[in-house]
Amino acid sequence: MDAKERKKVEETILREIERGQKDIAFLEELVKPIPPDNAIGRLSRMEAINTRSVNQATLSAAKVKLTRLKWALSHIDEPAFGICIECGKPIPLGRILLIPETTMCVPCLEEMDE
């Protein structure tokens, strides 16, 4: 990865971090405690509980992603950045720009899934 590519990746990560932080702030509003039955009715409360657990899952996924993005950002200047941790080959730039927090190339990831 040359300096220009690295710069591009850095910009992508910064943009993703900003978006992630906004998403997290928004989701944290959504997962606030649900009012008791008598305040909103039993059915809508059940619905609210369902929606809330979906939002909680989304929120924790967003937090994991944010942590990984920050990690990627702090390691971007290291020679190992963009190198697959499994096979040691460079991860294609297109993939890094799409998922900057990735640490593995597609073939290795697919092998792990099997």
DSSP reduced 3-state for 83: strand
Q: Is 84 in the site for Zn ion (CB under 5 A)?
A: yes
Please say whether the beta carbons of 101 and 68 come within 8 A: yes
Of 6, 52, 86, 97, the residue at the interface with Zn ion (CB under 5 A) is: 86
Q: How far is CA 59 from the centre of its chain?
A: 10
Q: Is 46 in the site for Zn ion (CB under 5 A)?
A: no
Shorter beta-carbon distance to Zn ion: residue 55 or 102: 102
Pair of tokens at residue 40? 């909103």
Q: Is 109 in the site for Zn ion (CB under 5 A)?
A: no
Of 87, 92, 110, 111, the residue at the interface with Zn ion (CB under 5 A) is: 87
Q: Is 23 in the site for Zn ion (CB under 5 A)?
A: no
Pair of tokens at residue 59? 């929120």
Q: How far is CA 108 from the centre of its chain?
A: 20
Please say whether the beta carbons of 5 and 92 come within 8 A: no
Shorter beta-carbon distance to Zn ion: residue 10 or 86: 86
- Binding residues for Zn ion (CB under 5 A): 84, 86-87, 105, 108
